[in-house]
């Protein structure tokens, strides 16, 4: 049976599309096809079965599964079941090459159904906002985060109040992204989210995958790398992105990127490009 697909947002490396059966009744039975791309699919509504080798799964709203090129897809439609609607995140271009280099979706071979985790649920929440705002740059970053979660899903019990907690954590995450140089503290971020510092730190790590302080540090270091490449000095960059100690900044930068910040500036890059006499 033909599937109707409608693109919602796309970039050169990823496309998000909504797929359904076009409002038609879906006859019960087995349907097979071979995939030709890497993708992650979120089940939005309805239910269906998935059969791969000896594996059998019954999927419904909130489940997610992934495919890779040449995977044989076997779908089972149940009698009187509500037709399924899926949100498909298809990787292409540079994202596809990244997957092939690092094998982010290798674990989906033979086991396509992704475990339900807090991180995956939070990513699905974030995607709604990206689609609503139509932000291609945010979609590229989101897709990179998705690959990391698929590659290494975080273990831990599912949060019961994810729908209520996700907006608070996303607001705090957005605050750090928009103003990484501000003197954020665990207490101030927790207060902004209306939570105790302990509860905020636990929920933030469960949803984002890293503690708040590490997330903020990484945001600052990523901004620092961009500034250095634009020609800013190491000292100016250090304080501009929110570090208060130059030595600490240099150590942190080296740990994250494998080289000191002095190797990332325009002048340093220009020297590396000068041919030896």
Q: For residue 174, what pLDDT is reported? A: 94
Mean pLDDT for the chain overall: 87
State whether CATH 1.10.287.70 applies to domain 162-270: no
Quick: pLDDT tens for 126-152. Answer: 999 999 999 999 999 999 999 988 888
Q: For residue 272, what pLDDT is reported? A: 45
Domain layout of the chain by residue ranges: 4-151, 162-270
pTM of the model: 0.84
Q: Which CATH class is domain 4-151?
A: mainly beta
Q: For residue 274, what pLDDT is reported? A: 46
Q: For residue 52, what pLDDT is reported? A: 79
Please state, in angstroms and rounded to a whole number, the distance separating the CA atoms of residues 199 and 222.
Answer: 27
Distances (CA, A) of 216 to 130, 186, 194, 213, 240: 21, 11, 19, 5, 14
Q: Within its chain, how far is the Cα of 191 from the centroid?
A: 26
Question: How many C-beta neighbours within 10 Å does residue 263 have?
Answer: 15
SS3 13: coil
Task: List, in order, residues 6 or more apart from 277 with CB less than 8 Å away.
Answer: none
Task: List, in order, residues 6 or more apart from 104 with CB less than 8 Å away.
Answer: 98, 147, 148, 150, 151
What's the average pLDDT block by block, 10 residues per block, for the chain (277 residues)? Answer: 83 94 68 84 92 85 90 81 89 89 63 89 95 93 91 84 94 95 95 96 94 96 94 94 95 93 69 46
Judged by phi (left if over 0) then psi (alpha if -120 to 50, else beta), residue 29 lies in left
Q: For residue 74, what pLDDT is reported? A: 84
Quick: pLDDT tens for 10-55. Answer: 999 999 999 887 666 666 667 777 888 899 999 999 988 888 777 8
């Amino acid at each position: 049976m033909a599937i109707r697909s409608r693109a919602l947002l796309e970039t050169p490396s990823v496309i998000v599309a909504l797929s359904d059966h076009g409002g038609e009744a879906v006859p019960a039975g087995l349907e097979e096809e071979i995939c030709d791309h890497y993708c992650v699919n979120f089940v939005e509504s309805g239910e269906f079965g998935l059969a791969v080798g000896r594996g059998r799964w019954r999927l419904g709203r909130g489940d997610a599964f992934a495919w890779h090129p040449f995977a044989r897809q076997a779908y089972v439609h149940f009698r009187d079941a509500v037709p399924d609607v899926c949100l498909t995140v298809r990787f292409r271009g540079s994202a596809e090459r990244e997957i092939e280099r690092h094998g982010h979706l290798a674990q989906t071979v033979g086991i396509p159904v992704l475990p339900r985790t807090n991180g995956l649920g939070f990513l699905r929440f974030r995607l709604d906002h990206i689609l609503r705002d139509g932000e291609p740059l945010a979609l590229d970053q989101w897709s990179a985060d998705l690959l990391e979660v698929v590659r290494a899903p975080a273990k831990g019990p599912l949060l019961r109040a994810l729908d209520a907690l996700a907006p608070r954590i996303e607001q705090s995450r957005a605050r750090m992204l928009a103003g990484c140089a501000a003197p954020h503290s665990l207490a101030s971020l927790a207060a902004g989210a209306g939570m105790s510092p302990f509860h905020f730190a636990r929920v933030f790590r469960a949803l984002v995958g890293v503690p708040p302080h590490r997330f903020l540090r990484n945001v600052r270091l990523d901004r620092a790398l961009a500034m250095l490449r634009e020609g800013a000095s190491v000292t100016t960059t250090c304080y501009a992105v929110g570090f208060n100690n130059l030595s600490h900044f240099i150590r942190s930068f080296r740990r994250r990127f494998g080289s000191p910040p002095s190797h990332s500036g325009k002048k340093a890059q220009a020297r590396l490009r000068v041919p030896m006499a």
